């Protein structure tokens, strides 16, 4: 009798049913291309069909996990919990939580994935293959597209074995800096959100030499350089930066079109930067810079070619403030919960704000300066940099320009990228 000992007398129809369920339950990985039909119910499997597909798989492997359909599908979070549980029990590395109507997802839901072990594919019938001796650490793929998420769970950025993350078509207005902790991330889709700029932490992923890494950004309401509204002087500066940057990428003094066509690949070229907005030690906008037009609300996002020095001060430009030192000490001495509760006490606003940032730093990890890479809690300056991202032969257009938000740990580190910078 052919087959493992725990399924005696198994009919061919059962095997066919299982194979069909597997085929129907498979969906190609997120291609990174946003399409207008993504919002339709025809583009993705319904939640109920997805659960039924998991039920068939469970039933064929000997698991009986009845689902209360009415109560589960009326509660998106409960449905997400059940999908994650079944993926863990069946070693399914592809966790599809898309189109569930989730407005938030808890850390507890994702923590269960820490217990997943890759299926060794041992059927106890055929001789062992090389696949059975491969590492059992899973390469997780998490799909959260088509939901209503405006924030992301902190535990998501502790999942070191995450390889694919789709956040397409949500309500995200900002990506946390801890996205940089996902070292093994090969594919990230953040299209269809409400992002105005990208965190500087994504810069390294975009310029990664690994061609298998994919980042899908558009569509998003990203701030543009405003090519149509730039005056003649600004246009000349942008074009000059683009030419110098391309020359730096190709390493040719006088590149001709034939040489450029052979190079291919996408490059990053610095085009322009916004005005720098400086902050005091408590995180408030510097009064000295607030009087300047460029430091007005939202005005700092606009490109400028007149970068003014930081406000005059008698203090050291690089030394951390006493508040910064106190908050770092508190991070080592107190727990996250204690610091968060202390922020609710009747303390000065600057202290409360600092404690909240310190407590977030315990969970997410502290930010790092985009200039010197040192850790900090309270940023002392911020500005936007607009970079061309594309092949050296492509024309300059808004669709090829990405805005990155940079933060500095001190006024001395508020240094805009040099003109003519081009990175391969």
Helix (H) / strand (E) element for 356: namely: helix 349-364
User: When comparing pLDDT for 23 and 351, which is higher?
Assistant: 351
Residues 80 and 185 in one domain: yes
Residues 68 and 132 in one domain: yes
Examine residue 29 and state whether it is found in any structural domain, yes or no.
Answer: no
Examine residue 234 and state whether it is found in any structural domain, yes or no.
Answer: yes
Q: Which of 153, 188, 216 is the last residue of a domain?
A: 216
Cα separation values, 45 from 51, 93, 368, Å: 10, 18, 41
Per-residue pLDDT band for 135 (boundaries 50, 70, 90) equals low
Average per-residue pLDDT for the chain: 78
Residues 288 and 345 in one domain: no
User: When comparing pLDDT for 341 and 321, which is higher?
Assistant: 321
Examine residue 101 and state whether it is found in any structural domain, yes or no.
Answer: yes
End-to-end CA distance of the chain: 60
Structure tokens at 350: 């600057």
Q: Percent of the chain at pLDDT above 90?
A: 42
Residues 205 and 341 in one domain: no
| Lookup result for tokens 């039933």 | 59
Confidence at residue 349, expressed as pLDDT on a 0 to 100 scale: 82
- Report the alpha-carbon angle 188-192-194, nearest 5: 105
Residues 301 and 268 in one domain: yes
pLDDT digits (tens, 9 = 90+) for 87-96: 999 889 999 9
Confidence at residue 204, expressed as pLDDT on a 0 to 100 scale: 86
Residue 397 structural domain? 227-321+378-423
Q: Which of 402, 398, 399, 382 is nearest to 230 (CA)?
A: 398
Q: Which of 216, 241, 267 is the last residue of a domain?
A: 216
Residues in the chain: 424
Confidence (pTM) = 0.79
Residues 95 and 209 in one domain: yes
Residues 73 and 116 in one domain: yes
Residues 315 and 345 in one domain: no
- Check: CB of residue 191 under 8 Å from CB of residue 217: yes
Q: Which of 196, 216, 236 is the last residue of a domain?
A: 216
Confidence at residue 252, expressed as pLDDT on a 0 to 100 scale: 53
Residues 52 and 127 in one domain: yes
Residues 53 and 147 in one domain: yes
């Amino acid at each position: 009798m052919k087959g493992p000992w725990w399924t005696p007398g198994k009919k061919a129809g059962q095997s066919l049913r299982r194979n069909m369920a597997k085929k129907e339950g498979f969906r190609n990985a997120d291609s990174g291309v946003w399409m207008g039909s993504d919002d339709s119910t025809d583009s993705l499997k319904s939640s109920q069909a997805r659960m039924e597909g998991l039920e068939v798989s469970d039933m064929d492997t000997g698991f009986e996990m009845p689902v209360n359909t009415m109560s589960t599908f009326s509660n998106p979070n409960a449905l997400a919990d059940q999908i994650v549980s079944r993926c863990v029990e069946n070693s399914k590395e592809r966790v599809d939580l898309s189109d569930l109507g989730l407005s938030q997802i808890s850390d507890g839901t994702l923590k269960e994935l820490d217990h997943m072990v890759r299926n060794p594919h041992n059927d106890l019938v055929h001789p062992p293959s090389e696949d059975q001796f491969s590492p059992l650490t899973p390469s997780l793929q998490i799909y959260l597209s088509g939901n209503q998420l405006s924030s992301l769970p902190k535990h998501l950025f502790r999942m070191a074995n995450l390889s694919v993350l789709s956040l397409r078509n949500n309500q995200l207005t900002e990506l946390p800096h801890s996205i940089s902790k996902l070292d093994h991330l090969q594919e990230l889709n953040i299209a269809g959100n409400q992002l105005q700029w990208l965190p500087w932490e994504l810069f390294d992923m975009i310029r990664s030499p690994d061609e298998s890494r994919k980042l899908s950004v558009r569509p998003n309401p990203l701030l543009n350089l405003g090519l149509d509204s730039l005056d003649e002087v600004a246009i000349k500066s942008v074009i000059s930066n683009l030419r110098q940057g391309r020359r730096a990428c190709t390493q040719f003094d006088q590149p001709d079109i034939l040489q450029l066509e052979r190079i291919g690949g996408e490059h990053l070229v610095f085009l322009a930067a916004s005005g720098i907005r400086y902050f005091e030690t408590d995180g408030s906008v510097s009064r000295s810079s607030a009087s300047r037009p460029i430091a007005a609300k939202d005005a700092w996002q606009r490109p400028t070619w007149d970068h003014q020095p930081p406000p005059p001060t008698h203090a050291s430009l690089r030394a951390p403030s006493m508040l910064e030192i106190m908050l770092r000490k508190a991070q080592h001495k107190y727990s996250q919960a204690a610091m968060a509760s202390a922020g609710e006490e009747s303390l000065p606003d600057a202290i409360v704000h600092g404690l909240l940032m310190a407590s977030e730093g315990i969970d997410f990890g502290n930010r790092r300066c985009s200039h010197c890479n040192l850790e900090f809690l309270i940023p002392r300056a911020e500005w936007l940099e607009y970079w061309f991202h594309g092949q050296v032969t492509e024309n300059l257009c808004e669709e090829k320009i990405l805005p990155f938000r940079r933060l500095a740990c001190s006024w001395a580190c508020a240094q805009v990228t040099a003109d003519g910078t081009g990175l391969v």
